[in-house]
Homo-oligomer: A and B are copies of this chain.
Amino acid sequence: MSLPPEFLGRLALIEEALRRALAEGPAELVRMSRYVLGWEDADGRPSAGGGKRLRPLLCLEVAAAAGADPAQALPGAVAVELVHNFSLVHDDIQDGDALRHGRPTAWQVVGAPQAINLGNFLYTRGLRQLADSRLPGAPLALAILFEAVERMVAGQWADIAFEDAESVTEEDYLAMVEGKTGALLGAAAGIGAALAGAPRGTVDAFRAWGERLGLAFQVQDDYLGAWGDAAATGKSTSSDIARRKKTLPVVFALASDGSGDALRAIYRAAPAPEDDTAKVLELLETSGAREHTRALARRFSAEAEALLADIAIADDARDRLRTFARFIAERDR
């Protein structure tokens, strides 16, 4: 499922603004930022890659729905995308992941110490877009972003802590995901509304909607991490399993009568000498984790739709946001 064509125009706006934001600065940090954003390969040659720009698109779409020229929200869109990339660069170090979007991760290219610097640069450059914009909504947008990053960092802390935890409940898992993924998607939507000059109540309503959408997005991500097409997602299906990540399917299966004990035995043991992905997938399947994960993604998606229905915007604007939200929540890659 590709981005519906009506959103492509704004995608072009975003790419231009991102390139402007990274047009100058410390040479190596800018060069590696361009690599991470997907515009260049590791040797500086033009390439196509990088992410789907869902967060900046969400930001612009909300600004438009709130009645503003979406271009007005570009500093916020660029900020959330750079903050997102900052978190990816650091996450890949933390998780030891070698591939992202089918390309070597930043720390594989420059080493973990320099990749820490790169993440810090992307974060700072992102914040500057908002701070230097001098838009009337910028202080509120910055406050939303700072709060989101604190929650994102706390979520990432929990995610790492879960790897060694004996027992993680679905409630623990959902609290972690609200921070790790929900907070920044909520911020993207809230910032779009803030930069559009929407009243505070509308800003908060868009933020709550974006956060719920983020939950749907992450649960779907966990689904794809176990049952997705590795060629399409650009990461190995088994990497979540190999790293013993407590994803939703795993949390569910660990708590199940049928598969819990067997899965716990595997997850407790030292890393298996042979690849045990197939065995783990079989246990997930037997436990009903596959259906449960899909059902939860659908539930969060429906809850997001209900929140959207209550926001006071024009019907055609709402229809467009609903289409975009479905694309986010039901993607297959």
Using A121-B150, A143-B132, A150-B125 as known contacts, say yes or no to A157 and B93 having CB atoms under 8 A apart.
no
B113 and A94 contacting across the interface, CB-CB below 8 Å: yes
Residues of B within 8 A of A167 (CB): none
How many chain copies? Answer: 2
Residues of B within 8 A of A139 (CB): 131, 139
Report how far A151 CA is from B139 CA in the complex, Å. 24
Residues in A88-135 with C-beta less than 8 Å from chain B: 90, 93-95, 112-114, 116-117, 120-121, 123-125, 127-128, 131-132
Q: Which residue of B lies closest to A28 (CB)?
A: B157
Tell whether A154 is near chain B: CB-to-CB under 8 Å: yes
Chain A interface extent, by class: 35 or more
Residues of B within 8 A of A128 (CB): 143, 146, 150
Q: Is chain A's interface secondary structure helix, strand, loop, or mixed overall?
A: helix
B90 and A150 contacting across the interface, CB-CB below 8 Å: no
Q: Which residue of B lies closest to A156 (CB)?
A: B117
B131 and A116 contacting across the interface, CB-CB below 8 Å: no
Tell whether A328 is near chain B: CB-to-CB under 8 Å: no
A127 and B146 contacting across the interface, CB-CB below 8 Å: yes
Residues in A150-171 with C-beta less than 8 Å from chain B: 150-151, 153-154, 156-157, 160-161
B146 and A142 contacting across the interface, CB-CB below 8 Å: no
8 Å CB contact of A120 from B113, B117, B123: B123
Tell whether A149 is near chain B: CB-to-CB under 8 Å: yes
By CB atoms of chain B within 10 A, which of A93, A120, A132, A139 has the most? Answer: A120
B153 and A142 contacting across the interface, CB-CB below 8 Å: no
Closest 8 CB pairs of A and B: A26-B154, A94-B113, A128-B146, A117-B157, A124-B149, A121-B153, A120-B153, A117-B153
Please list 14 pairs of residues, one from A and one from B, whose beta carbons are closer than 8 Å in the complex, sorted by A's number. Answer: A25-B150, A26-B153, A29-B157, A93-B116, A94-B112, A94-B113, A114-B161, A120-B123, A121-B150, A121-B153, A121-B154, A124-B146, A131-B139, A131-B143
